[in-house]
Structure 1
């Protein structure tokens, strides 16, 4: 089957394309800026057409010969006039799909209650669904509430609020009932929607197996993430506008994104039917805790990139994508440094591999000793373990209060901290070549757990120049002098 995906550079579209390919479909993508798809690993397996749903450019070419078209375009930021633009795009697309003889349009909208005034955001999404259903082309409109997966705006707001606020005064919407659904379940249903009986033309509510209040989702997230139970104090005075500013203040989610999310939480978002599951004979849904666990696994399982690139492509829909916004994927603080070295790579590597133990850490011995004493005082391992061999390391070795997590001889040494910390920490030391010169690369990473983790990083950041800066200088100097 030939399918078209609009919005392939977005959160859902970028995860849907590889699943459609795996299902054996011939995939084409419509993009206003095709270069945004350039670095996706599936780029060479799809056709890409430059076009825009609002002015109709490229639609005839993109829709030619298409059996099913996925319409995943939506102005999430909600700037002035966004609803009109959304409606215009849907009408232009529906008309072009009719002319091209498309067999079906599939749209992912929002789950909203009936008979109550909707936020501008939810009203716009509902209007787009109605426009598509009113066209001559059969439409399948899936309506979902909070989607649980790394990179989902709703999930990221939940993640950051829970991690950063042990005590929070919250608006009344924390009592709203929500039926969250895992992103992998949404994507599977989208893929399977292409196989529905011909002529299927209606909306379907989709949700997970549990109905929770937003406050319950916060507490369940905290339990899965291994942080303490949160104290939630609802207050009646925060309007959606003030709430979005509050969310923007305590989380990295931009207010322009937070506002439509907050406004959509004013009402319950619970499914009224589960007909799609019956039609597809697909009733298997992840429970909330498991969906959260999958969304958190990339960092919690210490999958830090080994090749000094910004991120690794995921192996599951719940994982973050490099194309997700900067505020997605949770907090991962970094301190990166590099220095040219007047020595061949093998000599620099010998210094890197010999770090720790009797050799020390090449910077402020008293500071490292003090950190070891503090760790011992709070029940940690301290610096007393040393290392197995003074010159050689292998994966799994202990090095003072670090553990060798990854070693690529001559290139990379990654150490995982085993000291007592409010989070997870790694130290990477690397050897490379740039412009014919040896280069030393150093990166410290910290994944905070709860507010204490964020405060810890802020507290130690002023000392990084002394500790990590001197480490980089001294390792480079030591490698040069050993010649």
Structure 2
């Protein structure tokens, strides 16, 4: 039996990039339609798909991309693209629908927004509604899935919730925090998207999709705080805080751009609850059932202690986990990770530099500001942490799992990498990476990275309070380790 060919648009976006591997796993052939194919080259599935360069507004290019396609996923919208986005959305949808009909595509699947009937909608939500109606009128079978807040790291709605909750233990908020919402986990959205490709030809309509929980935005913030092990947030409502002011407030407090925050905030004034669950007649719910809010947040939160933090933060997620950030997600997705990164060329062999690196800590010290390290160790002991008293198991060799003063060896690659995870008392998670590498001229390079994943506002304040001392602490460590490697053999003859 021939594999069905699925065309995916919006593949550099949040849902599109996660849908591709799900379709491949479901035994579809996948063709990605993208304006700039180079943006896909860092995806792990790039070699498994066909890529066509096309602009959604160019009828000829879209028609070419549609050739031989069985099901076409329309995942394009103009959130955050500025004025006249409604006209752009309208033109793109009309072009896509007419070209799909001309190419004899069997079905279009569109992911739109959940909206209440009989209300004056926000411009963003009204445009999503209109696009669905345009596609339904295209003359071929169409599935329109309508979702509210999608829970997954990288989703703009989820990132706004994440950053507001983590950064503000006390906040004055607008009235829309009392609006009821039926969020849905990204994994369940992908389940319905893939399943919609196989609907009977006579089915052409819209479906509401949502998770099992109906919550106010305030409830979601409090539940997020609970799952993330943050203190309960103190929330005061200010009725005079308009959506316009709210969007500026969100833009100030979070890294979500105002151009995206504004339409999202405008849409939050609407109560968005599923009115039906007819989708289950054609696409059975995933087993063992739809994911609830708390579990969806658990899946979306980065369990960074399980990840390879040597990679970039955006690509540090475990493969196959759609709740985690992907390389193409915005820089403001995936939570905060602060990094102090330094490197220098050291005129010795990698083996000689590694001897110094592996011998760090304990009686050998940390090759840095001794008084600063001693004071930090004393402070850690006062708050119940290990301080510097644990020392080393062996004066020369380290193994994964060894305690090393207030650190623990998390990963070790002989002559190349030493990664330490902090066990001191901190408002967050911290690592120190010491890497022996070489450059294009085959010179030995010493790379050093300190990484910190803050927990709540105290974590952010902690990082910025110690940042002025990084030059002394980490800069000194970089220089002194190099100097020790150049000097007499640290382990003797």
**TM-score, length basis structure 2:** 0.96
Which of 413, 418, 426 in structure 2 is aligned with 1:413?
418
| Structure 1: runs of 5+ lacking an equivalent | none
Whether contact under 8 Å (1:210, 1:287) holds in the other structure is: yes
Q: Distance in 2 between matches of 1:260 and 1:455?
A: 30
Whole-angstrom distance in 1 between the partners of 2:360 and 2:60: 59
The separation in 2 between residues aligned to 1:10 and 1:313, in whole angstroms, is 17
Alignment of structure 1 residues 56-455 onto 2, 5 Å: 56-282=59-285, 284-299=289-304, 301-306=305-310, 311-312=315-316, 314-315=318-319, 316-434=321-439, 435-455=441-461
Whole-angstrom distance in 2 between the partners of 1:313 and 1:157: 20
Could you tell me whether the CA contact under 8 Å between 1:383 and 1:400 is conserved in 2? yes
CA contact (8 A) 1:78 1:260 kept: no
C-alpha deviation, 1:307, in angstroms: 5.1
Q: Residue deviations 1:114-143, cap 9 Å, x none?
A: 111111100111110010011101110000
Contact 1:60 1:100 in 2 (8 A): yes
Q: Contact 1:6–1:70 (CA<8 Å) still a contact in 2?
A: yes
Mapped pair 1:47 → 2:50: yes
Structure 2 counterpart SS, 1:297 = coil
Mapped contact 1:176–1:214 kept (Cα < 8 A)? yes
Structure 1 runs of 4+ aligned residues shifted over 6 Å read none
Match status 1:24 vs 2:30: no
Task: Give RMSD over aligned pairs.
Answer: 1.2
Conservation of the 8 A alpha-carbon contact between 2:313 and 2:337: no
Q: 2:478 & 2:237 partners in 1: Cα distance?
A: 49
SS of residue matched to 2:118: coil
Give, in angstroms, the shift of residue 279 of structure 1: 2.3
1:478 aligns with 2:484: yes
Alignment check: 8 A CA contact 1:306 1:412 kept? no
Give the Cα–Cα distance (whole angstroms) in 2 for the partners of residues 304 and 162 of structure 1: 26
Deviations 1:286-329 (A, max 9, x none): 11111100111342x34133357863364210011111101000
Deviations 1:38-94 (A, max 9, x none): 111111111111111112242122111111000001111041100000000000010
Once the two structures are TM-superposed, the CA of residue 280 in structure 1 deviates from its matched residue by: 1.9
Deviation digits for residues 144-196 of structure 1 (CA, Å, limit 9, x no counterpart): 00000000000000000000000000000000001111001101110011111
CA contact (8 A) 2:302 2:334 kept: no
SS of the equivalent of 1:93 reads helix
Q: Tell me the number of residue pairs that the alignment of Structure 1 and Structure 2 aligns.
A: 482
Distance 2:119 2:96 in 1: 28
Aligned residues of 2:11 and 2:17 also touching (Cα < 8 A): yes
- Where do 5+ consecutive residues of structure 2 fail to align? none
Preserved contact between residue 313 and residue 322 of structure 1 (Cα < 8 Å):
no
Q: Is contact 2:430–2:451 with CA below 8 Å preserved after alignment?
A: yes
Instruction: Give a deviation string over 1:363-409, Cα, whole Å, max 9, x none.
Output: 01110000000001111111100010011111110000001111111
For residues 488 and 105 of structure 2, what CA distance do their matches in structure 1 show?
70
* CA distance 1:255–1:103, change in 2 (3 Å): same
Assess, with a 3 A threshold, how the Cα gap between structure 1 residues 313 and 370 changes in structure 2: closer, same or farther: closer
> SS at 2:282's partner residue?
helix
Distance 1:68 1:87 in 2: 21
Alpha-carbon separation, structure 2, partners of 1:2 and 1:133: 21
